[in-house]
Structure 1
Amino acid sequence: MKLALPTRDGVIDDHFGHCDHYTIVTLDDDNNILKKEAMDSPEGCGCKSDIAPVLANMGVKVMLAGNMGQGAINILQANKIKVIRGCNGPIDDVVDKWLKGELKDTLIECDHHNCPSNEIKL
């Protein structure tokens, strides 16, 4: 299984469509981390980019994100990628919390590009 994390400076970016790159984490069947790699983010807003089908074709099944708008959520879900919003902090900590079952989707979505709702702390 693969996870995608919108990343900037080693931490979850507050808004997935504005991230510097995606950290792609590959897990084995026992949820051990096999590999982490960076994938450049396309220019433009996440919901208007082609990132969702690209991630889906790579085998990404889960997006661990800070926040995103409903358009991005719809596109990711249409590509069979589960969205977990409300994540923050260092990438390794977020992955560790997800592996322990400690992350739940906050169900809060951005309705504009400078969304203050992504200040949720885990």
Structure 2
Amino acid sequence: MRVAIATDGGFVAQHFGRCPGFTIFEIEDGKIINKSFVENPGYKAHQPGQVPMFLRNQNVNCVIAGGMGPNAVMNLQASGIQVLVGITGKVEEVIDKLISGTLTGGESLCEHGEHECKH
């Protein structure tokens, strides 16, 4: 399983589409076998649909973020990618909770108005 966590300074980013990058963990048999960081191609010039496509091309199975807009959720889920939002904390602690089965998602921390994202 490949898990991408929206990352900002070692913590789960508040906004999926505008985070600096993603920490991608590859997990096998309940253990992390690889960890890498990839820059978000939409960080400086966010375009709807760009980041979900990028993560799909990274063979990601699950995306974790603090907040995410409904279109991004829909695009990811349409590709068979699980989405967990409402997550906060250090990236390393979050992946440990996911592996142990204790990570629980919630409401998106990102409120999308007509043309802007409010945190």
- Shared fold, TM over 0.5: yes
What TM-score, normalized by structure 2, do the two folds share?
Answer: 0.85
2:92 is the alignment partner of 1:92: yes
What TM-score, normalized by structure 1, do the two folds share?
Answer: 0.83
Give the equivalent residue in structure 1 for 2:111. 110
Q: Separation in 2 of the partners of 1:105 and 1:94?
A: 11
Q: Separation in 2 of the partners of 1:107 and 1:90?
A: 18
User: Contact 1:42/1:49 (CA < 8 Å) preserved in 2?
Assistant: no
Q: Separation in 1 of the partners of 2:34 and 2:7?
A: 16
- Give how far 1:102 is off: 1.3
Q: Separation in 1 of the partners of 2:92 and 2:22?
A: 13
- Give how far 1:53 is off: 2.3
Equivalences for residues 39-118 of structure 1 within 5 A: 39-43=38-42, 44-45=45-46, 48-108=48-108, 110-112=111-113, 113-115=117-119
Over 4 Å off, 4+ runs = none
Q: What is the count of residue pairs matched by the alignment?
A: 113
Aligned amino acid, residue 111 of structure 1: H
Name the structure where helix makes up a greater proportion of residues. 1
Name the structure where strand makes up a greater proportion of residues. 2
Equivalences for residues 15-54 of structure 1 within 5 A: 15-28=15-28, 30-43=29-42, 44-45=45-46, 48-54=48-54
Q: Give percent identity, aligned residues only.
A: 30
